[in-house]
A = this chain, B = another copy of it.
Amino acid sequence: MADRELPDVDVPALTALLDGKYADIRQLTRKNLAEYAGVLDDAIEMPREEFRERVLELVKLMAETGATGLGFPTEYGGGGDIGASVAAFETLGFGDLSILVKVGVQFGLFGGAILQLGSKHHHDAYLTDLVRADLMGCFAMTETGHGSNVQALGTVAAYDNEAKEFVITTPDDLSRKDYIGNAAAHASMAVVFAQLEINGGSEGVHAFVVPIRDEKGKPLDGVRIEDDGPKIGLNGVDNGRIWFDGVRVPRTNLLNRYADVTEDGRYVSDIENKDRRFFTMLGTLIQGRVCVGGAGITASKVALAVAIKYANQRRQFGSPETGEEELLLDYGMHQRRLLPLLAKTYALHFTQEQLLAELHNVLSTTDAPDRQRRALESLAAGTKALGTWHGSRTIQECREACGGAGYLMSNRLGALRADTDVFTTFEGDNHILLQLVAKGLLTDYSSSFGDLDQLGMVRFVAGLAVETVLERTSAHKLLERIKDVLPGGKDDSWDQEAGLLDPEYQLAMFRWREEHILSGVARRLKRGMDQGMDAVDVFSRVQDHVIAAGRAHVERLVLETFVDKLGPMVDSDNKVALAMLCDLFALSTIEADRGWFMEHGRLSSARSKAISREVSGLCRRLRPIAEDLVDGFGIPPEMLKAEMLHGPDVRSA
């Protein structure tokens, strides 16, 4: 493959494109990060207790700049712009991630719950103080024995008709609140998720405002708190466990936007269905998931910047004739290890941008249709899963690509890896999230979306007639768009080497895969139930297939978003460079799943090999501009202070 003309990347223009609508907010956050860059060393050197206090201090300082309260209404000192708040949060991912998570806990989870689940009197009572970080709080949902299955929480909030109070109780150790950020040291208040009981009957999980510490920081009567102790990373965040022993709070401490208890102990709600009510409440908390996915993508950018810059300086082996060793980045394997990850980072960036715009639209109105909300929840779940897995994988590959130097904490990769590691399992375990995505597809975001657990989904699909399975899933819509452009359709020319770089071909492959996996899952679920198997067994056996369907769907959206982003751009060298990244993302994704495509007759062996050659060729062509492409991320230089990039002049080796 002949090398084409090399695009001359305009780095500032690329940064402007990536920053998009919220460029000003992102710049403000970069400035904050640069000002407090010393925290990167503190994270490594300070003892845990001391570092926690340092992080708290910085969160309060950032709150003063207004950068952390952008999502709250202006009347409470916020910025009134949800999109801007997520953009600011994502940008924090360039820096120390304990700060990012502490900000997320305080303003996203704790503040978000009060904002989204509470009424005006809760807002009036708490928002101004919490936006200032004067009132620190925590989000007490997860329990030791109950994580992803929030409906199974054990904590009880029983209504006392006489006292007009809720009595919060932890019935057993499996129901202690666990892993709760801000709980071990700094929160004076908790939003506690508990089973609401009225007159002995259960109304399901609701959220309550519960004070947990006095002004001196001592746990209040009936509240027991334990430190979760050292963690793999994020040791600037004080995670802890909480037990409640008959803790009483006034009736009005129920966050009552969606349901309330009257003084005389009647349960009232505008949403009749119990499951639907629960998932509507949960749905409002979507922002946390969007933020974590974005943070995973941002962290990937830092890791790639470090590893690609290092590979462009460090030499190893080479030609004995010249006596000069080769740069790591000139090795084909090194390109193959890093550059597809760079391409995927760009792809995910644009998906995240799209998600942020959707989120802003939906949360900024009160009347978004249910279907739009469900599609947003699905996109948020899928992007979070792919973005955080990508983060873990990318940072790890970058660490290994930097050898021994990458193992030193002074080179940033260690902290990035350790801090982001939990992203794949918190705010929704990634596997569970992809199941949610698949569930939405299988039920075509029907009104039953939130109501169905995994077994409900199995039964829903199994209850359809064979011929309607496909029509009732989202798959049939894709089929319409596919049939003309894939081999076997009208145009036979596809089965040659040509066309690999045609976005229509790439998209058709992604769409066909999604449709095929989805309908396969539907058939297997149906067949299992028809054969009289237990729904639990049916789900267990088809589970990996369900998750594959979710993944294929999200990957298709990611590619579509990238292609759509490029379409309207005016011609420029930057567009050429981005198109190369888009091709590399598309083809390396197909390559990674080529076994599946061949199994299903959509890829000949010759064409599969051609794709692998093209991926290698794209890596070679991108290699000279790789450093420009990481510079385009606009990472503040203070955040790239990896010692190995500024130590002995490796360039002159």
Binding site for B on A (CB under 8 A): 44-45, 47, 142, 144-149, 152, 172-174, 176, 178-179, 228-233, 314-320, 325-326, 330-333, 336, 392, 396, 399-400, 403-410, 413-414, 417-418, 421-422, 424-426, 429-431, 453-455, 534-536, 540-544, 547, 591, 593-595, 598-601, 605, 608-609, 616, 620, 647-650, 653
Contact at B144–A230, with CB atoms within 8 Å?
no
Do B326 and A145 touch across chains, with their CB atoms under 8 A apart?
no
Residues of B within 8 A of A319 (CB): 455, 534-536
Find A605's partner among B233, B405, B421, B600 (CB 8 Å cutoff).
Answer: B600
Q: What is the CB-to-nearest-CB distance from A256 to chain B, in angstroms, rounded to a whole number?
A: 27
Set of chain B residues within 8 Å of A601, measured between Cβ atoms: 605
For A544, list chain B residues within 8 Å (CB): 332-333, 336, 616
B145 contacts A650, C-beta separation under 8 Å: yes
Chain B residues contacting A144 (CB-CB under 8 Å) are: 405, 647-648, 650
Nearest B residue to A548 by beta-carbon distance? B333
Assembled-state Cα–Cα distance A319/B392 (Å): 33
Measured in the bound complex, the distance between the Cα atoms of B412 and A232 in whole Å is 10
Given contacts A316-B147, A332-B542, contact A404 B426 (CB under 8 A): yes
Contacts A316-B149, A319-B535, A599-B609 given; indicate if A330 touches B407 (C-beta within 8 A). Answer: no
Which residues of the other chain, B, contact A233 by a CB distance below 8 angstroms?
407
Given contacts A145-B650, A229-B410, A231-B414, 5 further A-B contacts (CB under 8 A): A172-B648, A173-B649, A174-B653, A320-B453, A392-B396
A229 vs B643: C-alpha distance when bound (angstroms) = 11
Asked whether, in the complex, the Cβ of B332 is within 8 Å of the Cβ of A616, the reply is no
Tell whether, in the assembled complex, residue A541 and residue B399 are in contact, meaning their CB atoms are under 8 Å apart. no
Shortest C-beta distance, A319 to chain B (Å), equals 5
10 pairs of A and B residues whose beta carbons are closest in the complex: A173-B648, A595-B595, A232-B414, A594-B595, A230-B409, A598-B598, A332-B540, A333-B543, A599-B605, A179-B404
Residues in chain B near residue A403, CB distance under 8 A: 147, 425, 429
A309 to B422, CA, bound (A): 20
Q: Is the CB of A404 within 8 A of B178?
A: yes
A45, A231, A534 — most chain B CB neighbours (10 Å): A231
Most chain B CB within a 10 A radius of its CB, from A45, A535, A598: A598
